Each structure stands twice: as C-alpha cells, then as structure tokens.
Amino acid sequence: VRDDDRQMVIASNNGANDDPSLNLNLNADPDLHVEVPGQDFAATAEPLTGSDYDQQWKQITAKFPFFVEHQEKAGDRRIPIVALTEAD
C-alpha cells in the first residue's frame, strides 16, 4: 500500500497465528530491492510502531476492510506493518 514516499507491507499472513516468513526476513535484513509497477528501487524496511502504526492501520483498513477480518483471525498477534523507504 502506497503512503507518500513509502510502500507499506501488511504482514497479515491471511490471519494466521504466526507472522509470515517475509516479515521475519525483513526484520533479519532490512535492506532490500523493491519492484512494483513503474518503480524499481533499493529500500530499507522498518516495522511501524506507536502512532505511526495506528494511523496507517486505520487508513489501510478503511481502504481494505478484509484486513480487519485477518486481525480477528490472528487473535492476540498484532499484524505487523512494515514501511519500505527508498534508500539514499
């Protein structure tokens, strides 16, 4: 999901109890290469926390309400949101 100069990755894992491998990999090595239609760039991944997380979750679930269902299925696991920011 695009947010200004960042791409958001929602690690919902379709509501599973565990984070997807992608999220674990981004936490282990936050430097990556992003390819989306019309863009190709090096980026750094940063898990969102606090008010940034809350704001993004509200915006994302307003546009994509199925993520609310994923959160309900995930139970106590808070679905991570990871911001991908273009590297300098």
pLDDT in tens, 11-58: 999 999 999 998 889 889 999 999 988 889 999 999 999 999 999 999
CA–CA gap between residue 57 and residue 62 (Å, rounded): 8
The pLDDT score that the predictor gives to residue 52 is 96
Residue 70 has pLDDT above 90, yes or no: yes
CA–CA gap between residue 58 and residue 5 (Å, rounded): 18
In this structure, are strands 6-10 and 81-86 parallel, antiparallel, or unpaired? antiparallel
| Strands, sheet with 6-10, edge to edge from the N-terminal-most edge strand | 2-3, 6-10, 81-86, 39-47, 31-36
Name the pLDDT band for 61 (thresholds 50, 70, 90): very high
Name the pLDDT band for 88 (thresholds 50, 70, 90): confident
CA–CA gap between residue 44 and residue 29 (Å, rounded): 9
CA–CA gap between residue 48 and residue 57 (Å, rounded): 10
Residue 5 has pLDDT above 90, yes or no: no
Q: Enter the pTM of the model.
A: 0.90
Across the range 5-11, mean pLDDT stands at 93
